[in-house]
Amino acid sequence: MAPVETEKSITLAPPQFVLVPLMGQGHTTPMADLARLLAERGARVSLVTTPVNAARLKGLADRARRATLPLEIVELPFPPADDGLPRGSSDNSDNVLRLFLSLYRLAGPLEAYVRSLPCRPSCIITDSCNPWTVDVARSVGVPRLTFTGPSCFYSLCDFNVAKHGLLHSGGDHAYVVPGVPVPVELSKDTWAAVFLTCMPAWGKFVEEVREGIRTADGAVVNTFLGLEEQFVACYGEALGKPVWALGPFYLNSRKEEAPAVGQSAVTAWLDKMDQSTVVYVSFGSLARMPPKQLYEVGHGLEDSGRPFLWVVKESETASPEAQEWLQALEARTAGQGLVVRGWAPQLAILSHRAVGGFVTHCGWNSLLESVAHGVPVVTWPQFGDQFLNERLAVDVLGIGVPVTPLDDGKAVDHVARGHIARAVSELMGGGAAAEERRRKCNVYGERAHGAMAKGGSSHENLTLLLHSFMRTGSKEQ
């Protein structure tokens, strides 16, 4: 971005952003994408993270270096821990919370880093799950935008429920989210799962997250107006701050990713399949299925008779029994299915012509990636915001089939093979409803690409964001 001469001949320099992602694939990846988008438009960007996470961002660092982008990955030293939490919990949510709380120790190093910069940065953009950055931004006197990872629909619901004091409302009746331009009704159990009140240990942390969002100077969201315009507008009104819809980030920042894996075994298998016949099955980076549930998924896919590409985590098949079971399934379904162990090249898969559906946990990145490639979904949320992302996909956008009937009043913790086979058949089959889902999804996919193209809504919003943080000369600290 070249310096700009204004009418009064004041030279405006490109803005400088400090980005603070949350650890974890689903949070770090979109922030890394955002870093690249900003740098490609001329802003100076520091992406601040721990040494372990920085190693995972090597690809981005290499690409930025090759393209001589003004993007730097900054490693913050991690001071020793004393978070007072019990070690070695078998509950995954305890371990996730411990990780989140351990990051509070980065407040000192982050403040020291910002103060060490020759110029005060224009803005700190920080994942909303890093509430420890609120005091840092205040202390160094730098505006702070919060990056909210989930859909704007979820962020709006969460904001309104907290604002109206409804987080812990009692009773067994259906609960209604206020202040949302579409009806959102949830059962008691889903309500508790969405707003995390089912996990009392998280109470203080989620309150700090909400406070961090309320007190920020605005929000950056990985969505686009052609998908969530009404929710972006309502969220902006609710916050009383600008909400910048700049996504889907990855469409511009990871353009080279799909061709790069063009020769992989996975895409070679897909190449042999007919157009839009394969259902892709993956539950993101965090969710772990117990063996009993895993077996139901496998049998359900087999029973559906549809070609499938299923990502199974190594940790899900750690036992010899599970491994043996999976090998037997692979033998029985040779020709019909492919099982990928560990990590799959999801963008390359979703952009492949053979893929016609996605069974997803509704993590926002996965859902957005599916929508942007015009791939309709079977929805099977596991945690938090994913239940509302499911509602968005099924009820609002009309691109999803729920794996079990939507919120029948009971928490679904065991989905049977019959549910999976039925939902997959419904998604991948013919008929007016299935065709209509495909049509709508294609429309959203085209809009997603349009939003990121020059002149599109997300591209224009990014221009506005950059202009609003242009610097007048080098302000000393």
> Residues in the site for ligand UDP, rule: CB under 6 A?
25-26, 29, 282, 284-286, 311, 343-344, 346, 363-366, 369
Question: From CA 27, how far away is CA 134, in angstroms rounded?
Answer: 18
Closest CA to 369 of 344, 404, 339, 340: 344
Residue 157 or 349 having the CB closest to ligand UDP: 349
Q: Supply the minimum distance, in Å, between the C-beta of residue 20 and ligand UDP.
A: 17
DSSP annotation of 69? -
Q: Supply the minimum distance, in Å, between the C-beta of residue 105 and ligand UDP.
A: 23
Contact 42, 14 (CB under 8 A): yes
Q: Supply the minimum distance, in Å, between the C-beta of residue 415 and ligand UDP.
A: 17
Where does 192-341 show beta strands of DSSP type E? Answer: 219-221, 243-245, 278-282, 308-312, 337-341
Residue 235 or 364 having the CB closest to ligand UDP: 364
Q: Supply the minimum distance, in Å, between the C-beta of residue 416 and ligand UDP.
A: 23
Closest CA to 381 of 397, 355, 400: 400
Widest Cα–Cα separation across the chain: 74
Residue 133 or 253 having the CB closest to ligand UDP: 253
Closest CA to 301 of 331, 337, 259: 337
Residue 15 or 345 having the CB closest to ligand UDP: 345
> Before 3, cis peptide (omega within 30)?
no
Q: Supply the minimum distance, in Å, between the C-beta of residue 29 and ligand UDP.
A: 5
- Residue 293 buriedness (CB in 10 A; 0-12 / 13-18 / 19+): middle
Rounded to the nearest 10°, the torsion over CA 57, 58, 63, 69 is 70
Tokens of 230: 């009404």
Question: From CA 230, how far away is CA 234, in angstroms rounded?
Answer: 6
Q: Supply the minimum distance, in Å, between the C-beta of residue 363 and ligand UDP.
A: 2
DSSP H helical segments within 85-224, as ranges?
Answer: 92-102, 107-116, 133-140, 152-163, 188-194, 203-214
Contact 246, 465 (CB under 8 A): yes
Residue 24 or 179 having the CB closest to ligand UDP: 24
Please name the helix (run of DSSP H) or strand (run of DSSP E) that holds residue 47, with its range, or none: strand 44-49
Residue 235 or 358 having the CB closest to ligand UDP: 358
Q: Supply the minimum distance, in Å, between the C-beta of residue 297 and ligand UDP.
A: 15
**Residue with smallest beta-carbon separation from ligand UDP:** 26
Residue 18 or 31 having the CB closest to ligand UDP: 31
Q: Supply the minimum distance, in Å, between the C-beta of residue 36 and ligand UDP.
A: 14
Q: Supply the minimum distance, in Å, between the C-beta of residue 224 and ligand UDP.
A: 16
Residue 313 or 471 having the CB closest to ligand UDP: 313
Residue 26 or 143 having the CB closest to ligand UDP: 26
Contact 347, 372 (CB under 8 A): no
